């Protein structure tokens, strides 16, 4: 096999690996976020991630509803991951549930950037509500 054929094969392999590791393209800015996962809450509770488009990005609000009907103490975890050309970064919020709005994150979304947000409510027995959205 010639040097050229070997170099061409190596180049094609590298390109295929790079393409396989590339995240999927972000949807057009008028697309609604995808609700990736939703687990209905026990005890009549519900949780959601409210997505609002803002200039140059998005605002994500983690919310819990019907708290009075739930068990004693609830904890929440709100994890937002942003993916872009420079890599990814995580924003993690959490603590005891004490109000309807649990946390809020504003992200700038440059061309090709995308995000994933996951909200989990838990009591002493485990998860009681989960929602995930992604762009």
Whether 69 is covered by a domain: the verdict is: yes
Whether 97 is covered by a domain: the verdict is: yes
What is the pLDDT tens value at each position of the chain, 135 positions in all? 444 444 344 334 444 444 443 444 444 444 455 554 445 545 678 899 999 999 999 999 999 988 776 667 899 999 999 999 999 999 999 999 988 899 999 999 999 999 999 999 998 889 999 999 999
Whether 44 is covered by a domain: the verdict is: yes
Whether 66 is covered by a domain: the verdict is: yes
Whether 20 is covered by a domain: the verdict is: no
Full residue range of the structural domain in which residue 61 is found: 27-134
User: How many domains does the chain fold into?
Assistant: 1
Closest among 20, 24, 22, 17 to 114, alpha carbons compared: 24
Whether 3 is covered by a domain: the verdict is: no
What CATH number corresponds to the domain at position 40? 2.60.40.2420
Whether 86 is covered by a domain: the verdict is: yes
Angle at alpha carbon of residue 67, lines to 66 and 70, rounded to 5°: 100
Whether 62 is covered by a domain: the verdict is: yes
β-bridge mates for residue 76, sequence order: 95, 121
């Amino acid at each position: 096999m010639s040097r050229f054929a070997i170099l061409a094969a190596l180049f094609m392999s590298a390109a295929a690996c790079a393409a396989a590791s590339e995240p999927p393209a972000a949807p057009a800015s008028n697309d609604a976020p995808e609700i990736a996962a939703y687990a209905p809450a026990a005890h009549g509770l519900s949780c959601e991630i409210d997505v609002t488009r803002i200039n140059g990005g998005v605002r994500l609000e983690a919310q819990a509803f019907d708290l009075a009907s739930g068990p004693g103490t609830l904890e929440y975890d709100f994890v937002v991951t942003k993916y872009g050309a420079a890599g990814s970064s995580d924003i993690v919020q959490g603590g005891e549930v004490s109000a309807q709005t649990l946390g809020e994150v504003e992200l700038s979304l440059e061309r090709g950037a995308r995000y994933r947000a996951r909200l989990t409510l838990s009591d002493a027995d485990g998860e009681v509500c989960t929602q995930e959205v992604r762009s």
